[in-house]
Every structure is written in structure tokens, then in C-alpha cells.
A and B are shown apart, each in its own frame.
Chain A
Amino acid sequence: MGKFLVVDDSLTMRRIVVNALKSQGFDEVIEAGDGKDAVAKILSEGANFVITDWNMPEMNGLDLARWLRGNEQFENIPILMITTRGNKDDVIEAMKARVNNYIVKPFTPQGLKEKIDQIMRSLELKSA
């Protein structure tokens, strides 16, 4: 699967997501505290899969998604958004920013795995 980048301003949430990933065998995980930090990490360390929160200071998850999609080098990195925002308009806005999938907090490890698998399957179908 490669390297996961977990972006959330809450240290608690980052730890929870990282633990959930590791419990499912995804061992290579790096973290960022907001979108701006994530951009710096992507540029310096690279990432194969981004899991991001929406509400963050400096640069939010939506702007991070837009930045990735607007950047030729990173436009195909899968993005999974995990957020408290669960209104219809929020989900539509995120999908318009071309995130690949969307989880409303609180999530479960099974739910996380399911969404990662869905994203990977759809990307495999596209590339086939």
C-alpha cells in the first residue's frame, strides 16, 4: 500500500487513526497537524495515501485536497476525509474537491478498512 499520511490538528485523533491503520497491517504512517504541515511532509517525504480531517487551522482538509488535485505530481494520491461534518452540503463540497471517500466521525477500524479497500479497488478498476 505504501506510505500513509494522517492529517489532523487533534493529537488524540491522529493517534487513534494511526493505531487503527497499524492494527490492520498498514505500518508505514507519517503524521501532520494541519494542511500546511501536510503539504510540507508530502513535498519532503512523499505519501501514497492521505487521510485528512476537514476543520484545521492554517490550511483545512478541503484546501489540502484542492492543493493535491491541482498539483500534477500529486493529483492521483488517494484522499480519504475523516471529519465531524456530516451534512449533505459538506459531503458534496468535499466530493467536489475530489476527495475519494468520506468518513463521518466517530469511525470504526472496520469502517476505515472498508473505505481504504473501496478506494484501492476503484483505483485499480480505473487503471485496468
Chain B
Amino acid sequence: MNNAATHTNILPGEPHARVDNSGIMKDFARLLHEIVPLLENVKNSIEESSSRIPKASMQLSKVTQATESAAVEILNVLESMTAKISSVEDQLQKLKSVIQNSKDSAKKISDQLCSTSSGNGAFAYVEMLTLIVNEYVAGIDNEHAILAMEKLLDETKKDSMNIAMALQVQDITSQQIAGVAHIIESVQTQLANALDRFENGEALEVAKENVEQYQSAAPTFDIDAHFTKSVERQDLADEIVKQFANGK
């Protein structure tokens, strides 16, 4: 190939000069010969990646559904637990009331015995009966045990409420997942755009359909959502609310 000789023919002022491009064409053909399989590989890779994206989005959606189902199941159990705790609390209240009534009755009996016994010489007998009544009262008086049970039940209720509150993580992470799925769908559109350079536009249509289908089915989301016990963001919100309340 004599490129130098060829190029000397392409000079301004020589419009009719014969241009010998055969060397360039040969180089170009060789280059194409090498590039085409490479491009074919790129195209196949893009196609493969692109075809996997809807599946990835679907999987993410299934993760969200599964965590929501699990969260709902946990909430069902917690609600059932809370109902049972309330029922036990009611029973304890009834028990307390029964004990109080028994104590009141015992006191009445004791008072009655004392007033009946005065002056009739049956003091020892009355004293013994009073002792029996007091022992009975002491036997049924489980005030401390009942208080301890009430405290335990109250703590259990608080624990179950804390578990329920921790389940907010499901909503927060599902928003993050929805955000990631949205990014993946955007990548699919970009890949489909790239693929369209090779083909006739079908890929882009499929990608658009997938994105539209996903967007119509998916809830809106906050990709910045995060689960934290830090009060920093709430403090900021409180400050702004306060400023608005003060008319600033």
C-alpha cells in the first residue's frame, strides 16, 4: 500500500485528479472485519443484561411483598398478644375487686364480732374468730403479687409495641428498594437506547413498556428514606414547625 502516493493526488486545485482509496478501503474493511464481531459481542452483552433487568425488578418487588407479608403476620401476632394481655389485665382487675370485697366482708364480720362480744364474757371466743378472719384476709391479700403481675403485663405490652414500631423498617426499606428498582429501570432504558443503535428500535419499546408497567404498578418512594433512631431530622422538623407557628 502506498498511502503517501495516494494522498499526493488529493490536492486543492486538482479536482479531477484520480484518488486512489483502495488502500484505505482495504484497511477499513479489515478494521470492520475485526470490529463487527466485537460489536456483536457488545450487542449480545447488552441484550443479555437488558433482558435480565425486568427479572431483577420483579425480584425486588417480590422482596418488598415478602417483607410486607412477614410484617403483617408479625403485627397479627402482636395484636393477638395485646388482646390476650388486656384480657389478663381485666381478669386481674376482677380478682382485685373480689379480694377487696372479701376484705370488706371480713372487716364487717370482725367489727360485728367485737360489738357482739362486749360484756357477754365470750371474749376468748371472739378473739379466736377475729384471728381466723384476719388470717383469711391475709391469705387472700395478694396485693404485691397482683401489682407485680400488672407491672409485668404492662412491660410486655410495651415490648410488643416496640416490636410493632420497629416494623416501620419494612416501609422504609421498601421505599429504598423501590428507589433502586427505579434506577435499574432507568439503566435498562439507557441500555435499550444503546441496543437501538444496532437494531430497529424494538428494544427501546420493550424497555419503555417495562418502565411504564413498573411505574404504574409501583408506589411512589423516597430513595433517601432511612431507618434511624437519631432525632436530628425530627429536631429539624420541629424547629421549622415552631417557626411557622410563630409566623416566621
> Which A residues are within 8 Å of any B CB, using their own CB?
8-13, 15-16, 19-20, 23, 54-57, 60, 83-88, 91-92, 95, 101-109, 111, 122
Counting residue pairs across A and B whose Cβ atoms lie within 8 Å, the total is 107
- A84 contacts B222, C-beta separation under 8 Å: yes
Given contacts A20-B161, A55-B222, contact A12 B175 (CB under 8 A): no
Give the interface residue-count category, chain B.
35 or more
In contact, B167 and A84 (Cβ under 8 angstroms):
no
Q: Which residue of A lies closest to B234 (CB)?
A: A104
Q: Which residues of B contact A55 (CB under 8 A)?
A: 175, 219-222
Q: Which residues on the A side are within 8 Å of B78 (C-beta)?
A: 19
B72 within 8 A of A: yes
Classify the interface of chain A: helix, strand, loop or mixed. mixed
B225 within 8 A of A: yes
Most central of B79, B157, B171, B238 by chain A CB within 10 Å: B171
Taking CB atoms, residues of chain A closer than 8 Å to B184 are none
Q: Are B79 and A19 in contact (CB under 8 A)?
A: yes
Given A15-B75, A19-B161, A91-B241, the answer on whether A84 and B175 have CB atoms closer than 8 Å is yes
What is the distance, in angstroms, from A60's C-beta to the closest C-beta of chain B?
7
Q: Chain B at the A interface: mostly helix, strand, loop or mixed?
A: helix
Given A11-B72, A104-B234, A109-B161: A56 and B219 within 8 A (CB)?
yes
Interface flag for B106 (CB, 8 Å) = no
Residues of B bordering A, CB below 8 Å: 68, 71-72, 75, 78-79, 82, 157, 161, 164-172, 174-175, 218-222, 224-229, 233-234, 236-238, 240-241, 244-245
**A106 and B72 contacting across the interface, CB-CB below 8 Å:** no
Q: B245: which of A86, A106, A122 is its contact (CB, 8 Å)?
A: A122
User: CA–CA, A71 to B97, complex, Å?
Assistant: 52
Instruction: Chain B residues near A10: list those with CB within 8 A.
Output: 68, 170-171, 174, 219
Query: Could you tell me if A12 and B167 are in contact, using CB atoms closer than 8 angstroms?
Result: yes
Instruction: Specify which of B79, B174, B236, B244 is in contact with A86 (CB 8 Å cutoff).
Output: B236
Query: A16-B167, A84-B225 known; A101 and B241 CB under 8 Å?
Result: yes
With contacts A12-B71, A91-B236 taken as known, whether A108 is within 8 angstroms of B165 at the C-beta atoms is yes
Determine if A88 and B236 form an interchain contact, defined as CB atoms under 8 angstroms apart: yes
Q: Is A13 within 8 A of B171, CB to CB?
A: yes
Residues of A within 8 A of B164 (CB): 15-16, 19-20
Q: When the two chains form their complex, are residues B219 and A84 in contact, meaning their CB atoms are under 8 A apart?
A: no
Q: A19-B79, A55-B175 are in contact. Are A88 and B240 (CB under 8 A)?
A: yes
